[in-house]
Amino acid sequence: MGKPLIYEILEKPASSSVIGICSLIWWLIQKRGIGYADVGLSYEAAVDGGQYWRIITSAFSHISVVHLVFNISALWSLGVVEQLGQIGLGVEYYLHYTLVLVVLSGLLVLGFYHMMIQRFKVEYFRRVTAVGYSCVVFGWMTILAAKQPSSKLNIFGVLSLPISFAPFESLIFTSIMVPQASFIGHLSGIIVGYSIAWGLIHGMNNYWAITMLGWIALVFVLSLKRTGSMELSFIEIEPVTDPSLPSVGVVAPRNGRTLQMDVLPGRRVADIV
């Protein structure tokens, strides 16, 4: 018999906490009827609209329960990183670089969208909206593949993949089986993962992690305030946008629960990340 669940949770505290956060956010999304457009990451909302807070909300939000379960299963298996302190990984490493993966993979997704829109004139990518923790999951697959290639990745307790091939196997598999899965989002996680594993991104410690977390919180709150997505009476920001342009924000509906968006006309496409 395996270990009792409580012992496994104690051995993977960071992974267990992230799983709990993603599950709670999914429950709130279902309860309040929130959709992709309300929490997802799109070029139009984040870059054109200045809603940088979406880099964070999109990472921890899942609309589909199948999407949530897949990411939770992979994340639980990848929690072995927390137990590999002897090879330079461990809980602190996991927390530090999870923060890096969330932010940099989101920024890289926007960078790819920018290239497709500005360089190749593909306007489709302006409104593609991505949600999900898969960027980070693919990043950790890649790091573990580079650091501990003999490991296995267990999905749903029935599918076991050699970790050395898991990032690209999973990338191809999800692209075929789930057409709406974000190839760009998953690829961004892999790129950032290799950058960390190969030492191109390094030097994270508690000081830099706390500093980075502080800046993330500041930008998150200020972008919420500036875009009118949340009323924060103790923060005053001078408007710099043209009032004649459409805005994005929260409109108080009759039941006081549903988020509404006033955006440029056009069909928004959802991507599962």
Catalytic residue among 186, 188, 195, 223: 186
Catalytic residue among 58, 105, 134, 229: 134
Q: 113: which residues sit within 8 A by CB, 6+ positions away?
A: 42, 43, 47, 125, 126, 128, 184
The first and second tokens of residue 34, run together, are: 């929130």
Residue 153 three-state SS: strand
Query: How far are the Cα atoms of 12, 59, 68, 154, 160 from residue 77, in angstroms, in the given order?
Result: 10, 19, 14, 6, 10
Residue 186 is among the residues annotated as catalytic for this protein: yes
Query: Pairing between strand 152-155 and 159-162?
Result: antiparallel
Burial, 155: exposed, middle or buried (Cβ in 10 Å; 0-12, 13-18, 19+)? Answer: middle
Indicate which residues carry an active-site annotation.
Answer: 134, 186
